[in-house]
């Protein structure tokens, strides 16, 4: 059985975790627990090449929109 699950919670057979992604997300969780992260927007690509987006912004939506725009530019430039 796979240890990778779809967004719906079903196991994804043949999928292998991306260790870099897991470590990155774990570090973000730790920062959020300390109160350092106040808002987040996530764009994910699943094993089946599906795109998923979500956000938690509370009262910082405009700051988050600016950060997403900056990320857009970084993705184009890198």
Residue with tokens 């929109």, as numbered in its chain: 65
What percentage of the chain reaches a pLDDT higher than 90? 65
Please tell me the distance from the alpha carbon of residue 20 to that of residue 66, in angstroms, as a whole number.
25
Beta carbons within 8 Å of 78's beta carbon, 6+ residues apart: none
Contact 5, 14 (CB under 8 A): no
Q: What is the pLDDT of residue 1?
A: 45
Q: Does the pLDDT at position 44 exceed 50?
A: yes
- Report pLDDT digits (tens) over 8-34: 777 777 678 899 999 999 999 999 999
Higher pLDDT, 17 or 1: 17
Kindly report the pTM of this predicted structure: 0.69
Q: Where are the domains of the chain?
A: 19-77
């Amino acid at each position: 059985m796979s240890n990778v699950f779809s967004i719906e919670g079903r196991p994804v057979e043949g999928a292998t975790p991306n260790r870099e992604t897991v470590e990155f997300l774990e570090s973000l969780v730790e920062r959020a627990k300390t109160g350092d992260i106040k808002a987040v927007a996530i764009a994910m690509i699943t094993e089946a090449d599906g795109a998923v987006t979500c956000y938690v912004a509370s009262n910082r939506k405009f700051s988050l929109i600016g950060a997403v725009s900056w990320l857009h530019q970084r993705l184009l430039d890198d």
